[in-house]
Amino acid sequence: MTRVEITEQSTPDEVVEVVRAWVADAVPGTWREAAAQGRDALRRVRSREDYEKWYPAFGDSGLVVPTWRYEHGGLGVSADVARVIDRELRPLNLRRLNPLGLHNAAAALFAHGTEEQRRRFLPPMVRNDEKWCQLFSEPGAGSDLASLATKAVRSGDEWIVTGQKVWTTWAHVSDFAILLARTDPDQPKHKGMTYFLLDLHQPGVDVRPLRQITGDSEFNEVFLDGARIPDAHRVGEAGDGWRVSASTLSSERQMVSSSGSGGAGRLGGSGADSLIATARRTGRWDDPLVRRDVMRLWAQEQLAEWTNDRIRATVAAGGSPGAASSIGKVHQATLNQRIQDLTVELIGADALAWERTDDPDHLPREVRGMLRSRANTTEGGTSDINKNILGERVLRLPREPDPYKGVPWKDIPRS
Ligand X SMILES: Cc1cc2nc3c(=O)[nH]c(=O)nc-3n(C[C@H](O)[C@H](O)[C@H](O)COP(=O)(O)OP(=O)(O)OC[C@H]3O[C@@H](n4cnc5c(N)ncnc54)[C@H](O)[C@@H]3O)c2cc1C
Smallest distance from ligand X to CB 219, Å:
5
Least distance in angstroms from the C-beta of 47 to ligand X: 23
Question: What are residue 45's DSSP bridge partners?
Answer: none
Q: Which stretch binds ligand X (CB under 6 A): 191-199, 264-272, 371-379, 402-410?
A: 371-379
Residues assigned a catalytic role: 252
Closest of 24, 208, 74, 57 to residue 129, by C-alpha: 57
Instruction: Name residues contacting ligand X, limited to 373-402 (CB under 6 A).
Output: 375, 378-379, 381-382, 384-385, 388, 400
Query: Is 142:384 a contact under the CB 8 Å cutoff?
Result: no
User: DSSP string covering 154-165, please?
Assistant: EETTEEEEEEEE
Bridge partners, 179 (sequence order): 135, 196
- Partners of 223 in the β-ladder: 164, 206
Q: Is residue 248 a contact residue for ligand X (CB under 6 A)?
A: no
Complex with ligand X: residue 86 or 379, whichever CB lies closer = 379
Say which residues have a Cβ less than 8 Å from residue 189's Cβ, sequence separation at least 6: 146, 147, 404, 409, 412
Sequence-ordered list of residues with C-beta below 8 angstroms from that of 259, at least 6 positions apart, any chain: 307, 308, 311, 312, 321, 325, 328
Q: Which residue is nearest to ligand X (CB)?
A: 142
Which of 10, 137, 150, 307 is the binder for ligand X (CB under 6 A)?
Answer: 137
Least distance (Å) from ligand X to the CB of residue 391? 10
Residue 247 touches ligand X, criterion: CB under 6 A = no
390: left (phi over 0), alpha (psi -120 to 50) or beta: alpha
Q: Which is nearer to ligand X, 144 or 186 (CB)?
A: 144
- Least separation in angstroms between residue 48's CB and ligand X is 18
Least distance (Å) from ligand X to the CB of residue 223?
14
The CB-of-104 to ligand X minimum distance in angstroms stands at 8
325 binding ligand X? (CB under 6 A): no
Q: Are 406 and 188 in contact (CB under 8 A)?
A: yes
Q: Does 252 bind ligand X (CB under 6 A)?
A: no
Give the H/E segment covering residue 226. strand 220-230
Site string for ligand X, 215-244 (x = CB under 6 A): ----x-------------------------
Query: Cα-atom radius of gyration of the chain, to the nearest Å?
Result: 22
Instruction: Give the per-residue contact string, 8-47, with ligand X (x = CB under 6 A; - = no).
Output: ----------------------------------------
Distance CA 264, CA 93 (A): 11
Closer CB to ligand X, residue 10 or residue 247? 247
Least gap, CB of 410 to ligand X (angstroms): 21
Cβ-in-10-Å burial (0-12, 13-18, 19+) of 283 comes to: exposed
Nearest to 55 by CA among 92, 80, 18, 105: 92
**Piece in contact with ligand X (CB under 6 A), picked from 40-48, 81-89, 112-120, 137-145:** 137-145
- Closer by beta carbon to ligand X, 14 or else 199: 199
Geometric angle at alpha carbon 223, from 406 and 151, rounded to 5°: 30
Scan residues 139-168 and list those touching ligand X (CB under 6 A).
Answer: 142-143, 167-168
Considering only residues 167-186, where is the footprint of ligand X by CB under 6 A?
Answer: 167-169
Q: Do β-strands 234-235 and 193-199 pair in parallel, antiparallel, or remain unpaired?
A: antiparallel
- Residue ranges binding ligand X (CB under 6 A): 133-134, 136-137, 142-143, 167-169, 219, 375, 378-379, 381-382, 384-385, 388, 400
